[in-house]
Structure 1
Amino acid sequence: MTPSYQKLLICALVGSLCLGLTACGDDDDDGPDGVINVRPDVVSGNIQHTRYDGASNDLLTAGLGASGLASATAPTPADPINPTAEELRTLAIYNNYRALVDTSAGGGYGNLFGPQVDADDAEGMIPGDEYLAYIRLDEAEVPVTVMVQIPDSYDPAASCMVTAPSSGSRGIYGAIGTAGEWGLKKGCAVVYTDKGSGTGSFNMETGAAQDMRGQLTTNENVDVQFESDLEASERATFNSNWPDRFAFKHAHSKTNPEADWGQYVLASIEFGFYILNERFGEETDDGDRLVTVTPENTLVIASSVSNGGGASVRAAEQDEDGLIDGVAVSEPNVNPTVNTSFTIRQGDGPVITEHSRSLLDYTTAIAVYQGCANLAPGTRDSAPFNDALNDFDVDENICTSLFNKGLVIGADVDAQAADAQRILEEEFGIQPEQNLVAPSHFGAAVAQSISMTYANAYGQFGVEDRVCGLSLAATDATTGAVVPLAQVSEELLFATSNGIPPTGGVNQVYDGATGVPTDLKLSTSPSSGIQDYGLDALLCLQGLAEGRDPISGGLLSSLLAEQSGAIAAGIVDIRASGNLRGKPTIFVTGRSDAVLPINHTSRPYFGLNQTVEGGDSGLRYYEVLNAHHLDAFNAFPGFDALYVPLHRYYFQALDLVYAHLKDGVALPPSQVVRTTPRGTGAPTLTATNVPPIQATPAEGDRILFEDDQVRIPD
């Protein structure tokens, strides 16, 4: 039970005897009976409040409106070297919304989803109040940002709340276009948290860091999102050896934030109730506010997508106080506890026993093998943006290096690439449906960035550890050599960064590259002597994940073995239990997900939950065909013809859970959702392309758990 709610419960039970714990109403002239609203213990420092009128500025679109969010022209601060906090907020909302939602014409924006859909005005701007604060769990030194948005349409007599932890490693506005949009339009309070990741950057040279609203400061008296804990002398030595480097909060805070994602979400809910009662609680004669908005009279849905979805799932598992009524998440990053008592099978395909690999395990494998697999027959010329985002010469070098190390076989590049793709599918349980999506993600350094950041986070390493010889810095576009980050880029990092480099002009640097420290993607590996995307560093990360030398299969060196052990312990701390406490829950996931492979995330979580909760389970799992992880890619040629927006089904999941909680409408059974891609020329997406989740699906579409097996229809 959270401390503040413990106090409230005791206060309600024993009245005046609780004076040492919190203030309670009594029968004197000070005010009516009741519990005084008390600021949660986890809140640290001042709470910042801003009112948005819904005309000049608003909660959802930062005053840009639906058309501004869809515009390819980003808002620009009047003085980019000195952006105001509001200008950073506007740019952050613009970038975060577009990173998760396809805002292109014809892709569903404006008719199936978007601020303007079912809105009172054409732009969908929402007036209301926004509250920002830091929280700290157990007096942790690194603060976590929380935010509450209360739309003017919120009705305390029909109170509802939606959680919106950020997706990926994004900052506080990282779920604005997902859980934020749905909740605000529904008239719910929305509670956000960066869940301990966020965009917090720290310039090792200058000591510049971001304050709570993203402005850079070197003022030691300002509470910043993140700063390196190195002493001045230690930092000076580091800068002498590795100039112009950056530390980032998710990678270098030494806290393994994912282990506390659920607690951060629960704390954000507690903060949300405090703010709601400060606004709407009955006022006493002394000017205090009574607690009138409570978990008992508020419908609370834990939500969000990707990492944010995983955080809300973990919150539901850890919800001892019954704060959460239901869960609706999309493509959640969950690492289920490994349970070999059940298997997974799609159609008549092979039985999958090696499921539930950790994020770091399968992601480092993708980082190592996908560059070569980009060239596999059937993938090389068919995968959207493969040739645009990837250097095929480098990909061939990756194949050559893998072949020379005995990691792939084949007489030529085509055969080697096919073997790399086979390894990912057969040895790492990755679905072939992701093969056309994966090359673009490799080109965008998705697996490479996740591998580096999470290895550091799980092992609780600092910037000074430079795990596997990797660091973070701006680099020259041609040579890849480290250069200082442009001032304007650093000033805007809060609004342009996704929190996990390469991002905002900061790249991954392989300090061990042949020659000089070099941008990882341009690096020559010492072991190969060829430019192979710094494969030595990526293999090192894979070795840390697997606990063995990935080439020989033998023992790691003493340093790497120690680091691998720390990482393994960190992974244990982030494993999900599968016990959702019977809460009505919906997972929606795209079968073509190339970021979080479904045989290690949603599918085994469903199986684990059925094993743990059995007949008490309230979980429904909807697997959507022709959908993947990053809807924003659907705005581009190739993707627009092949894939549909998973976002449409995420919003339907929220609608279903809301209707179930509010009106008792039954949740549809678990099922495969059969969609129809737009096809050649990508005509405008219609409801025909994306049929709704069926209340009574056909027998051949039902996802079942029978005889200790998760059974997925083809």
Structure 2
Amino acid sequence: MTNRARLAVPTGLAAAFLLVGCSSDNDDSPQLNTLPGFITGEVQQQDYDGITDDLLTAGLGGSGLANATAPAFADSLNPTPAELRRLAIYTNYRALADMTADGGYGRLYGPQVGRDDDGLVAGSETLALATVPGANHPVTVMVQVPASFDTEQACMVTAPSSGSRGIYGAIGTAGEWGLKQGCAVVYTDKGTGTGSHNLMTDRAQRLDGTLSDDDDAPVLFRANLTDAERQAFNTSHPDRLAFKHAHSRDNPEADWGRHVLQSVEFGFYVLNQRYGKPHGDDGRTVVLTPENTLVIASSVSNGGGASVRAAELDENGWIDGVAVSEPNINPTPDSSFTLRQGDGPVITGHSRSLLDYTTAIALYQGCANRAPAVRDDAPFNAALNNVGVNETTCTALAAKGLVTGATLDEQATDALRILNDEYAIQPEQNLVAPSHYGASVAQAIAMTYANAYGEFPVNQPLCGLSLAATADQGTVTPLADAQEAALFATSNGIPPTSGVQLVYDQAAGAPTRLADAVSTSSGLADHGLDALLCLRSLMDGLDPVTGDALSAPLQVQAERVSTGVEAVRASGDLQGKPAVFVTGRADAILPINHTSRPYFGLNRRVEGDASGLRYYEVLNAHHLDAFNAFPGFDARYVPLHHYYLQALDLVYDRLTTGAELPPSQVVRPQPRGAGAPALTLAQLPAIQPAPAQADRIRFVDSQVRIPD
């Protein structure tokens, strides 16, 4: 049955045709439900009553998730799996959403909204490890089936983790919407996740988050080192950790779409184990299939990008629609179209890769933080960034000829110009970017993704960068046992996180936390500029200072990185599926001129009038809603999450009732303003079914045209 046919037949009626079971041989014998071959090891399943514990809030309820005090472990060194799960759900929910009532939590979004209780959801949760051919390490997959699931109106939502987070990384986004809708939610950590390996103690996390030093135990990740290699590295680089996304020697992003499709297949297995008819000894027949179950590919950020890739790769027609927010997508570059916002400059240099624009931000943003246009107005600039280091970074860049200007203000202004003009980073992102630099977002992404794209081993630190805990002066120290015990629950999978820092091993004097590092070439505390230049060189394949060819070893590394980057490029072909992207114009992590905007153009080039994609660009919104809880952000920005939930509603309505998706458009919510009074729905205009002509985003004459 095609997607179009599904629109014409109510889900319950479609299911009635298929409940007799199906067979690949088109006979009357029932199809037996079998565990997919990509599942490795034990399948773990747990039921939750929705009273003492639940799927969505781990028993905390919406009010408990809003509590600023995190749930504690009875024994900080030996947390139980249930305690780790509860803290993981608490941490991941709060990492993505503004949890303040004035910002909208508990009123406009949250587990309890639309419910007459605190938002607890009863049901079952099933976890397993899975693998794709050629991968060195497994991924985690999970299926949550709410007690309200209705086989006559069967639905499924994908929830790959955002960022590099673990299996609960999308619990507060796709998880919240899907479970409240009564849909099964299928999760994957997509080969990133919280898996870490303490190379000194040899401890790693099991599927339930507890630690093991048994080399034969199934764990989320263990570095591909022999005992001799690990011991040699511990001697030269003591107290280091390996993280799965950076050091698995896989390029997980190249398989994100496959990971999502595997989670869907595992989801159907779990559903049919639960709802299929008994057949023989312990067997079950297949009653729920892609033909009678509505499947929406969803999630945000990296998870959104993974679901988009899954829709592109969906040869079997398992996915019916796509609803994603701020997707990390690397469109295949296509110079046949351009971008233009209002009467602004025509942008030809769109579709830069994640590593391209991120290494540029890592290189120039520290100096740009000092620019008069952003210095005093950017929230958290002074709080998170060392002003002195910003200035010495400008000095070091100027000495290398990478910025111009006789004064610090002029040098910083030139650094900002380079980012805006040469790298097509929108000016709307300028006030958000300093806070992200202070949190080492670009630096962490550059280090992690360069390692992943080139599939480099942990014992050969790329550009002299490794991962370890550090003391007050930035010197390497062992990670505290209590911090390591909690990593499954507190880590975002991409250090700096949970006490683990980026360390520059080649800093002048001794290995030092990157943010505190003195570069050998400059003799200055310039945020380890030498390391950032090295990462940039791997992107360009040229020395960023001289423009010369790289040394032979670096050239080999750059070629490996380039191969990895090309492997993650998106095709733009969503196969006509109804799809919605929502993205904040002020996104300073995934700049819109390299992600959502050019993907919209590429999709129009590939699919033409058959395209089902709609793009909604939201003003006064950025990438990390959680920052909106803090002064400076609260007055300026609205929750993009609100529009993500609306996108899911729109796609669901399209698939169940045939309602048309609204045209692509700019959405104009009003920020809270001075004093940040409580946000109201009146400030959040809905995505319009018939937007004004002046608000419509169009693809005209080989150009994506976006209104101001």
Q: Given the alignment, which residue of 90, 94, 100 partners 2:96?
A: 100
Q: Which residue of 2 aligns with 1:665?
A: 659
What is the DSSP-based 3-state SS (H/G/I as helix, E as strand, rest coil) of the residue aligned with 1:465? coil
Q: Which residue of 1 aligns with 2:463?
A: 468
Quick check: 1:524 aligned with 2:518? yes
Distance 1:383 1:275 in 2: 48
Q: Given the alignment, which residue of 191, 204, 213 partners 1:209?
A: 204
Give the 5 Å matches for 1:386-425: 386-425=381-420
Alpha-carbon offset, residue 139 of structure 1: 6.0
TM-score (norm 1): 0.96
Q: Which residue of 2 aligns with 1:113?
A: 109
Q: Which residue of 1 aligns with 2:83?
A: 87
Distance 2:306 2:300 in 1: 9
Deviation per CA, 1:132-162: give whole Å up to 9, x if none.
Answer: 0000112633010000000001011110000
Q: Which residue of 1 aligns with 2:554?
A: 560
Instruction: Assess if the C-alpha contact under 8 Å between 2:101 and 2:107 holds in 1.
Output: no
Deviation per CA, 1:30-65: give whole Å up to 9, x if none.
Answer: xxx310001101111111011111111110001111
Distance 1:311 1:437 in 2: 25
Distance 1:287 1:226 in 2: 33
Distance 2:403 2:531 in 1: 18
What is the DSSP-based 3-state SS (H/G/I as helix, E as strand, rest coil) of the residue aligned with 1:669? coil
Q: Which residue of 2 aligns with 1:602?
A: 596
Quick check: 1:510 aligned with 2:504? yes
Q: Which residue of 2 aligns with 1:342?
A: 337
Give the counterpart letter for 2:84 in structure 1: L
Distance 2:327 2:70 in 1: 29
Alpha-carbon offset, residue 411 of structure 1: 1.2
Q: Which residue of 2 aligns with 1:617?
A: 611
Quick check: 1:175 aligned with 2:170? yes
Quick check: 1:634 aligned with 2:628? yes
Deviates more, 1:202-211 or 1:136-145: 136-145
Q: Which residue of 2 aligns with 1:431?
A: 426
Q: Which residue of 1 aligns with 2:683?
A: 689
Instruction: Assess if the C-alpha contact under 8 Å between 2:136 and 2:249 holds in 1.
Output: no
Distance 2:166 2:542 in 1: 34
Distance 1:250 1:689 in 2: 39
What is the DSSP-based 3-state SS (H/G/I as helix, E as strand, rest coil) of the residue aligned with 1:587? strand
Quick check: 1:656 aligned with 2:667? no
What is the DSSP-based 3-state SS (H/G/I as helix, E as strand, rest coil) of the residue aligned with 2:394? helix
Q: Which residue of 2 aligns with 1:234?
A: 229
Identity %: 65
Distance 1:673 1:329 in 2: 16
Alpha-carbon offset, residue 11 of structure 1: 8.1
Q: Given the alignment, which residue of 74, 77, 102 partners 1:78?
A: 74
Instruction: Assess if the C-alpha contact under 8 Å between 2:466 and 2:504 holds in 1.
Output: yes
Alpha-carbon offset, residue 120 of structure 1: 3.3
What is the DSSP-based 3-state SS (H/G/I as helix, E as strand, rest coil) of the residue aligned with 2:592? coil
Q: Given the alignment, which residue of 57, 64, 68 partners 1:68?
A: 64
Q: Which residue of 2 aligns with 1:324?
A: 319
Alpha-carbon offset, residue 482 of structure 1: 0.4
Quick check: 1:447 aligned with 2:458? no
Give the counterpart letter for 2:559 in structure 1: G
Distance 1:696 1:438 in 2: 34
Q: Which residue of 2 aligns with 1:193?
A: 188
Deviation per CA, 1:90-134: give whole Å up to 9, x if none.
Answer: 00001100000111121011111000101131x111111000000
Distance 1:677 1:545 in 2: 37
Give the 5 Å matches for 1:125-140: 125-138=120-133, 140=135
Distance 1:139 1:473 in 2: 29
Give the counterpart letter for 1:38 in structure 2: T
What is the DSSP-based 3-state SS (H/G/I as helix, E as strand, rest coil) of the residue aligned with 1:688? helix
Give the counterpart letter for 1:12 in structure 2: S
Alpha-carbon offset, residue 287 of structure 1: 3.3
Quick check: 1:305 aligned with 2:316? no
Q: Which residue of 1 aligns with 2:574?
A: 580
Alpha-carbon offset, residue 620 of structure 1: 0.1
Instruction: Assess if the C-alpha contact under 8 Å between 2:136 and 2:250 holds in 1.
Output: no
What is the DSSP-based 3-state SS (H/G/I as helix, E as strand, rest coil) of the residue aligned with 1:403? helix
Alpha-carbon offset, residue 15 of structure 1: 6.8
Deviates more, 1:277-286 or 1:55-64: 277-286
Q: Which residue of 2 aligns with 1:29?
A: none
Deviation per CA, 1:4-44: give whole Å up to 9, x if none.
Answer: xxxxxx9824379xxxxxxxxx7xxxxxx310001101111
Distance 2:483 2:586 in 1: 34
Q: Which residue of 1 aligns with 2:15?
A: none
Quick check: 1:713 aligned with 2:704? no
TM-aligned CA distance change 1:598 to 1:139, over 3 Å: closer
Quick check: 1:221 aligned with 2:216? yes
Quick check: 1:378 aligned with 2:373? yes
Deviation per CA, 1:368-402: give whole Å up to 9, x if none.
Answer: 10001001112111001110001100000100000
Give the counterpart letter for 2:552 in structure 1: S
Give the counterpart letter for 2:440 in structure 1: A
Distance 1:15 1:651 in 2: 39
Give the counterpart letter for 2:524 in structure 1: I
Alpha-carbon offset, residue 559 of structure 1: 1.1
Which ranges in structure 1 are unaligned for 5 or more consecutive residues? 1-9, 17-25, 27-32
Distance 1:532 1:140 in 2: 38
Alpha-carbon offset, residue 220 of structure 1: 2.4
Instruction: Assess if the C-alpha contact under 8 Å between 2:22 and 2:286 holds in 1.
Output: no
What is the DSSP-based 3-state SS (H/G/I as helix, E as strand, rest coil) of the residue aligned with 2:560? helix
Distance 2:489 2:678 in 1: 31
Deviation per CA, 1:535-562: give whole Å up to 9, x if none.
Answer: 0000110111111111111111111110
Q: Which residue of 2 aligns with 1:20?
A: none
What is the DSSP-based 3-state SS (H/G/I as helix, E as strand, rest coil) of the residue aligned with 2:187? strand
Instruction: Assess if the C-alpha contact under 8 Å between 2:160 and 2:307 holds in 1.
Output: yes
Q: Given the alignment, which residue of 35, 40, 43 partners 1:44?
A: 40
Alpha-carbon offset, residue 658 of structure 1: 0.2
Deviation per CA, 1:590-635: give whole Å up to 9, x if none.
Answer: 0000000000000000000000000110000000000000000000
Q: Given the alignment, which residue of 363, 366, 376 partners 1:368?
A: 363
Distance 2:413 2:557 in 1: 33
Deviation per CA, 1:460-483: give whole Å up to 9, x if none.
Answer: 011012000000000012x11100
Q: Which residue of 2 aligns with 1:5?
A: none
Instruction: Assess if the C-alpha contact under 8 Å between 2:161 and 2:302 holds in 1.
Output: yes
Q: Which residue of 1 aligns with 2:179?
A: 184
Give the counterpart letter for 1:550 in structure 2: P
TM-score (norm 2): 0.96
Instruction: Assess if the C-alpha contact under 8 Å between 2:124 and 2:145 holds in 1.
Output: yes
Instruction: Assess if the C-alpha contact under 8 Å between 2:162 and 2:299 holds in 1.
Output: yes
Q: Which residue of 1 aligns with 2:255?
A: 260
Distance 2:412 2:224 in 1: 43
Distance 1:131 1:14 in 2: 30
Alpha-carbon offset, residue 286 of structure 1: 3.3
Give the counterpart letter for 1:553 in structure 2: G
Q: Which residue of 1 aligns with 2:52?
A: 56
Q: Given the alignment, which residue of 463, 479, 482 partners 1:485?
A: 479
Give the counterpart letter for 2:316 in structure 1: D
Which ranges in structure 2 are unaligned for 5 or more consecutive residues? 1-20
Distance 2:236 2:654 in 1: 59
Distance 1:137 1:432 in 2: 41
Alpha-carbon offset, residue 213 of structure 1: 1.2
Instruction: Assess if the C-alpha contact under 8 Å between 2:48 and 2:54 holds in 1.
Output: yes
Instruction: Assess if the C-alpha contact under 8 Å between 2:350 and 2:594 holds in 1.
Output: yes
Distance 1:474 1:409 in 2: 36
What is the DSSP-based 3-state SS (H/G/I as helix, E as strand, rest coil) of the residue aligned with 1:599? helix
Alpha-carbon offset, residue 675 of structure 1: 1.1
